[in-house]
Structure 1
Amino acid sequence: APEDDTKGITYEEGDVRDEERIEEGIEAADADVVVHAAAALPLWDDATIREVTIDGTRSVLWAAKDAGVERVVYVSSTAVYGTHDHHPITEGSSLDGVGPYGEAKIEAENICRDFRRMGLCVPILRPKTFIGPQRLGVFQVLFDWVEDGANVPLVGWGKNRYQLMHVHDLVRAMELMFTAEESEVNGTFNVGATDFTTMKADFQALLDYAGTGKRVLGTPVLPAVLALRVLNELGLSPLYPWVYETAHEDSYVSVEKLRRLGWEPEYSNREALIDTYEWYLENYEESTGETGLDHRVAWDQGALRFLKALLKRV
């Protein structure tokens, strides 16, 4: 059995939009540091995204400041950058948030900077897409296809470089934000793997590990995007625009700023994918039938189930 990593942890559930609940929780914790990672994903409606990501961030920061918390680590996203022609993207690159999710993250970061000016230490982490134990969502779709022995189609030909990361490496970056000197961490840092190749090669490594004999299949970008857009608008696919409209483009950031503080990622793209797939095989039970709109549950695949059935046969 896996080692119990929850010893000494008190779990309390609350809504980040509930100011009173947040205040009570932070006061009761008597914490030196708060990690704020709550966000509504792009699948949610625009109003909810803004309430959770912007208003929720403001509530957490006020509650932390009033309770005398020394640091609040804000987990933002590389979605604040949008798409760029030049890579790697650095912390100083221009911001162009994709959709309500990316735009809300930018506004939340601005609130963090307001609180810095009030004397609170607020490190901001901008992680790439991270995977690992408990990560389902869009990756559950991928792992379901791999486990069932289907070929895996991509949007585009898979020659683009797409950086991922393991949640373990993100947690280690958070820990560094707790322990390093305030003058070193009271800023903004990209986080991501340093060992990654092309999307096709990294995903093929997962298929090879699974031993199904299946392949990653490239597709023409325009027809694939149009088809997924129609399915999304009809409510027949869980893949939202940020996923299918950018999946064929290069997407990787520089992590040199964080590395200068002594952080080094332990997982490559391939290792992160394989480790998460192993966790999925050991822990995920499809029989629960639970689906939803966040990264901790499976997504209803809708019409994609029929495509999977077809790609199992070829």
Structure 2
Amino acid sequence: MVWVVTGASGFLGYHMCKYLLKKRARVRGVDLAAFEYDMPKVEFYQSDIRDAQLMQRVCRGADVVMHGAAALPRWPGDKIWDVNLNGTKTMLEAAATAGVKHFIFISTTAVYGIPKKHPIYETDPLTGVGPYGESKVAAERACEKYRDRMVVSILRPKTFVGTVRLGVFSVLFDWLYRGKKLPVIGNGENRYQLLDVDDLVEAIYLMSKLAPKKANDVYNVGATEFGTINSHMQTLLDYRGMGRLVHFPAGPVKLALRVLDKLHLSPLYPWAYDTLDKDHFVSVDKLVKLGWKPKLTSEQALLESYKWYEKHRDKIIDSKGVTHTTQWDQGVLRWFRDLFF
């Protein structure tokens, strides 16, 4: 079987390519960034997914396209919309024109916004927060229009973690590594759900094996076992054997973070801080009924991600950027880390 993986150089792309090679699939990877992993069997195209002609050539002869490439929340709003919507439209048309039978779109649970009702089901309203969430909603709508030409699976994963994951988690992991106190917005008793990246990869691969009627649908993906923000943080602290949680009132902290965000002095974006004091978890019953079962709990997934960071910290300390596989500049948060925590 021939797979096209967009966003191949990123966090999910790395794990997806590695998994597919183990399944003896032929893999074509696409990404703007260089493919710096030791996978010589991946046929890699360092290119923009908005290059319609090249994407048609890449898709020719492929059985499945997994479209995971996206502009992330810290990118400029206009670029997020262009990549996430127009890039998705380009990939959909390229795949359909090339005769691809199955297109798997990686969306996000950010399309649900911050609802008051939980768990969140696939049929609940889509009210994306900010350019990232809103553009993903629009991209899903574009996907739906191609279901008369090929099978289109839409997966909405919770925030996923695992080996190679940095990004916003690099801030948390840095504070933890240094033995600092870990700040918590609110009382920390809100339930929060993450997802191990390898469990997500299993869900993606499952889509390719389903009958078209079942695959041509939308599925939430998240850990089936998860606790509170406090339980996630305490799991990390117990492992490190140092540090403690410090709780702050949500209103003033979020106001301060919003101001810092507007001034470009903090790496934390609205979705990151607006959800941290609220319940946010989805139902995955629909996916579980198909036979999918995650191997890790939410807390275990976060801890395994930190363990990888701890082991590789010396090698990645200088990897700066705005992607999930680079360390984010902490801005003024570094001052708070050193002066107050």
Q: Which band: TM-score by shorter chain?
A: over 0.9
| 2:283 pairs with 1:251 | no
Asked whether the equivalents of residues 127 and 190 of structure 1 are also in contact (C-alpha less than 8 Å), the reply is yes
Residues in 1 aligned to 2:185 and 2:227: alpha-carbon distance in whole angstroms = 17
Which letter does structure 2 place at the counterpart of 1:34? Answer: V
Deviation at 1:12, TM superposition (A): 2.3
- In structure 2, do the counterparts of structure 1 residues 66 and 284 end up closer, same or farther at CA, with 3 Å as the change threshold? farther
Q: CA separation in 2, counterparts of 1:41 and 1:122? A: 22
Say which SS state the counterpart of residue 307 (structure 1) adopts.
helix
Query: 1:12 is paired with a residue of what secondary structure?
Result: strand
Shift of 1:288: 5.5
Alignment equivalent of 2:226, drawn from 196, 202, 218: 196
CA distance in 2, matches of 1:281, 1:21: 40
- Check conservation: 1:97, 1:106, Cα contact below 8 A: yes
Q: How does 1:206-221 map to 2 (within 5 A)?
A: 206-211=236-241, 213-221=242-250
In structure 2, the residue matched to 1:307 is 336
Q: Which runs of 5+ in 2 are unaligned?
A: 1-16, 19-38
Instruction: Tell me, yes or no, if the aligned pair for 2:80 and 2:132 is still in contact at 8 Å.
Output: yes
Q: Using the alignment, how far apart are the partners of 2:331 and 2:175 within structure 1?
A: 14
Q: Say whether residues 1:93 and 2:124 are aligned partners.
A: yes
Which residue type is aligned with residue 108 of structure 1?
A
- Partner Cα distance (1:112, 1:133) in 2: 30
Is the partner of 2:155 in helix, strand or coil? strand
> Quick check: 237-246 or 10-19, which moved more?
10-19
Corresponding residue number in structure 1 for 2:199: 169
C-alpha contact 1:157 1:217 (8 A) present in aligned 2? no
Residue matched to 2:297: 268
Pick aligned residue for 1:132 from 162, 165, 171: 162
Distance 2:116 2:45 in 1: 43
Report the identity percentage.
46
String of CA shifts for 1:57-97, please: whole Å, max 9, x gaps.
01101111111111010000001100111100000111111
Alignment of 1:1-314 (within 5 A): 5=18, 6=39, 8-27=41-60, 30-116=61-147, 118-211=148-241, 213-285=242-314, 289-312=318-341
Mapped partners of 2:301, 2:150: distance in 1: 34
Q: Is the 8 A contact 1:140 1:298 kept in 2?
A: yes
**Amino acid in structure 1 at the alignment position of 2:135:** A
CA deviations on 1:149-201 (whole Å, 9 max, x unpaired) are 11110221211011000000100000100111111111000000011111111
2-structure distance, mates of 1:128, 1:253 = 8
Residue 215 of structure 1 deviates from its aligned partner by: 1.2
Aligned residues: 305
- Structure 1 CA distance, aligned partners of 2:317 and 2:155? 34
Q: Distance in 1 between matches of 2:40 and 2:288?
A: 30
TM-score, normalising length: structure 1: 0.93
Question: Matches of 1:68 and 1:130 in 2, distance apart?
Answer: 31
Contact 1:150 1:311 in 2 (8 A): no
Instruction: Provide the C-alpha distance between the structure 1 equivalents of 2:168 and 2:140, rounded to a whole number of angstroms.
Output: 25
Distance change in 2, residues 1:309/1:77 (3 Å) = same
Structure 1 stretches of 5 or more lacking a match? Answer: none
Say if 2:80 and 2:135, in contact at 8 Å, map to a contact too.
yes
- The alignment's C-alpha RMSD in Å is 1.5
Structure 1 residue 21: Cα displacement: 2.7
CA 1:287–1:177: 2 relative to 1, 3 Å = closer
Q: CA 1:129/1:49 → structure 2, altered by over 3 Å: closer, same or farther?
A: same
Distance 1:41 1:8 in 2: 28
TM-score by length of 2: 0.86
